[in-house]
Structure 1
């Protein structure tokens, strides 16, 4: 070990676990937390991690990965305190799931393309993992961010041949643009429906062409932010 940095992943994780346990014992704020109060911080850290990954800043990515890792340790410790699990149980369950969902790596199933891997993955979730009797969208969380929720629903619909369709998405966008361009008063409810359908069509189009709508929108917003910032700076 040099400069306080553990050389092996196992040693580093053990040290982080020790710190997490000490904080839980000795820090008044950490002692008060439960999974309901800590998860908003988990979500915030996940978004900061996504931003770091999109920025291409490796130093920032390293830092944000650590914040998310601490969240995993802390939530696992809460499970351990009530005898419902542990960090080891979390890691073992994750390992078993990855092995089960990658039979083309750990078994004798063949999958030559990413699309085949995803179809196998979905089929394993539906059958092997006891979800066959549930509805098509039963395990799609309602509280996902809207873009991710729409994308997940569309991808799940692929199982029944109703997935994202590029031509249909473009047609829906054209129809909805025409509706917005029409003269006359429109109620707030009608506008909400039209805008919602347009947003869904954009997500469908992105999914159909293999783009991630969340990342695409974030990148476009960043470009707009920079342009406005540059214009404001130029006027000063």
Structure 2
């Protein structure tokens, strides 16, 4: 038997999951603004292998998703999940694993739904990271830093430097190249079909948004394109992002068995 239960946005936790070579501190501009809204608790998790993370855990997408599922089970009531880039793969899997603990999900420029034509590039990139270290990924992050407030851009590069190259490569392989990887479109579609709660997907490009629309999505889900923004759009426009998440948060209800 099912009954609808309206979630109280003033008490529902928001759990934030950082992206590739990121940290819990990367969410600081968002955490402070969300807390100023006087909503429920706001938790920024540390994925295995990230700066400041405790020892233990497996620095792969499945390992991070299992850790996040444990975090969800420890919360009181359903959680609003928010994942950026690689973190959106983690929230997708945790959502599927622990759907009864999820109120809804927000994904920001998620690192999934890639074209199969990108496969050889991922193989080459992972190998370069393993042989060249941070130099193989520096340009990717450095190109985003100028679009951010100076302190935020500096933190982005500091997080990269503080993340071991082996961890960076390991996550990339688990995103796209391992047998359980969900980064390419067909695998993303299979994984996304297991989500049961509404998903708000915010993309910086129409290409990303169009691929998102190819995924199975629970009723009430929505896709937005924020033209003119880059991959770290939530940090480029933190007030807009927090207002969007806050409105989404308040609109959600859960269905409990």
Determine if the TM-score, normalized by the shorter chain, exceeds 0.5.
no
Q: More strand by proportion, 1 or 2?
A: 2
Structure with the larger helix share: 1
Q: Return the index of the structure with the highest Cα Rg.
A: 1
TM-score normalized with structure 1 length: 0.27
